[in-house]
């Protein structure tokens, strides 16, 4: 089998590449990635010499480059992780999100139609369902929950999902979609909550918590997510959507306090800052469908996953120090310069 993984130099895509190379010793994995600010070539250093791995730098919106790669590799499976993925950046620059997340998805699927594939898998997000109220813990997102987005990011992901389902119905493309909750783990780019807090706490810098810190996210350890995608691409039914969640809802403030505890840092580092515009209150996933159909469930408890994650950031300082010394500094200054 030959698998093209787009966005494989990013957080989840790179973890998926490591997982697949290990799990399937006879698979070839091709990473197609533009290496935007969020993509790190160094993340893939450990697999660059693997004869079953190939890295290609290209934009998923570049039809010629995408078709050339399909012509050379004739992939059996394509897993699309490539995206602009940060809500705060989407609030600043929506159009870039529309281009990459929608046009890029269509371009990759057109190549799949042209060359033929066994499975196209779209990595989507629970954010397409909008948010849930804080005072209704009984409500969860199912695959039947209507699409009702809040941010330019989630709107672009929702548009891509609709397009994926349209390609299934119109052209018979064998697609699947997964909608997962917030991931955490190694190689997470430090603009996102958990790595940002770990890295700031390590340098005794303020920990910026939006609003009152009461927004709730359902945290999923990245390796559990990779296992779910593996099951879906091999055993999931074409044309179907699968929710993937961590069964682990936490308020942001409690996550930040756990990180402080893990690092022995005082809560006085915490600063409540201006809330994000349109900030979704709560995400919570009902993952019954993937559990019943494919036997998947999240194996990693948050207490263990967060310890492993904190340890990874302690052991891999060079990886994140290189990131935060670059373009990231301008972003950080713009977002958090006044705290």
User: What residue ranges bind ligand NAD (CB under 6 A)?
Assistant: 6-7, 9-13, 33-36, 38-39, 59-61, 81-85, 100, 104, 123, 125, 157, 180, 182-183, 189
Question: Is 84 tagged catalytic?
Answer: no
- DSSP per residue over 134-172, as a string? TT-TT--B-TTSPP---SHHHHHHHHHHHHHHHHHHHH-
Task: In angstroms, give the least distance from the CB of 83 to ligand TYD.
Answer: 12
217 binds, among ligand TYD, ligand NAD, none (CB under 5 to 8 A by kind): ligand TYD
Where are the alpha helices (H) located in 182-264, listed in sequence order? Answer: 193-202, 222-235, 252-263
Q: Which of 14, 80, 176, 182 is the binder for ligand TYD (CB under 6 A)?
A: 182
Catalytic position from the list 33, 59, 84, 127:
127
Residue with tokens 């713009």: 334
The span from the CA of 287 to the CA of 97, in Å, is 27
Question: Is 153 tagged catalytic?
Answer: yes
E-assigned strands of the chain? 2-6, 28-33, 53-57, 77-80, 119-125, 175-180, 182-184, 207-210, 216-221, 240-244, 249-251, 270-273
209 is a site residue for ligand TYD (CB under 6 A): yes
Using the rule CB under 6 A, give the single segment among 137-145, 203-211, 287-295, 324-332 that binds ligand TYD: 203-211
The span from the CA of 71 to the CA of 69, in Å, is 5
193 is a site residue for ligand TYD (CB under 6 A): yes
Q: Which of 7, 8, 39, 208 is the binder for ligand TYD (CB under 6 A)?
A: 208
Binding mask 264-293 for ligand TYD (x = CB under 6 A): ------------x-----------------
> Which one, 259 or 294, has the nearer CB to ligand TYD?
259
Helix (H, G, I), strand (E, B) or coil at 38: coil
> Which one, 99 or 251, has the nearer CB to ligand TYD?
251
> Which one, 134 or 238, has the nearer CB to ligand TYD?
134
C-alpha closest to that of 217 among 254, 259, 169: 254
The span from the CA of 290 to the CA of 275, in Å, is 34
130 binds, among ligand NAD, ligand TYD, none (CB under 5 to 8 A by kind): none
Question: Is 184 tagged catalytic?
Answer: no
Helix (H, G, I), strand (E, B) or coil at 119: strand
Task: Using CB under 6 A, list all residues that contact ligand TYD.
Answer: 87, 182, 192-193, 196, 208-210, 215, 217, 252, 276
């Amino acid at each position: 089998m030959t698998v093209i993984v787009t966005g494989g130099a990013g957080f989840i895509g790179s973890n998926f590449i490591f997982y697949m190379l290990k799990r399937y010793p006879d698979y070839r994995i091709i990473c197609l990635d533009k290496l935007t600010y969020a993509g790190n070539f160094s993340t893939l250093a450990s697999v660059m010499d693997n004869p079953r791995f190939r890295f290609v730098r290209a934009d998923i919106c570049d039809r010629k480059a995408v078709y050339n790669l399909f012509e050379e590799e004739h992939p059996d499976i394509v897993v699309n992780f490539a995206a602009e993925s940060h809500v705060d950046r989407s609030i600043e620059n929506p159009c870039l999100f529309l281009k990459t997340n929608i046009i890029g998805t269509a371009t990759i699927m057109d190549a799949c139609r042209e060359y033929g594939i066994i499975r196209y898998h779209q990595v989507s997000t629970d954010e397409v369902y909008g948010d849930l109220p804080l005072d209704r813990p009984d409500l969860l997102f199912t695959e039947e929950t209507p699409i009702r987005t809040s941010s330019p990011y989630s709107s672009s992901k929702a548009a891509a999902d609709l397009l994926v389902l349209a390609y299934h119905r119109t052209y018979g493309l064998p697609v699947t979609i997964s909608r997962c909750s917030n991931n955490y783990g190694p190689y997470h780019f430090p603009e996102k909550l958990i790595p940002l807090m770990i890295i700031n706490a390590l340098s005794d810098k303020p920990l910026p918590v939006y609003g009152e810190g009461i927004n709730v996210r359902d945290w999923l350890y990245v390796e559990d997510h990779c296992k779910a995608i593996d099951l879906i691409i091999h055993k999931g039914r074409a044309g179907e959507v699968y929710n993937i969640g961590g069964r682990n809802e936490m308020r942001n403030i409690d996550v930040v306090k756990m990180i402080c505890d893990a690092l022995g840092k005082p809560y006085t580092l915490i600063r409540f800052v201006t809330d994000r515009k349109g900030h979704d209150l709560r995400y919570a996933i009902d993952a019954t469908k993937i559990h019943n159909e494919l036997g998947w469930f999240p194996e990693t408890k948050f207490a263990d996953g967060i310890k492993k994650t904190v340890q990874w950031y302690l052991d891999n300082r060079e990886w994140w120090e290189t990131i935060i010394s670059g373009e990231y500094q301008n972003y950080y200054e713009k977002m958090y310069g006044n705290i």
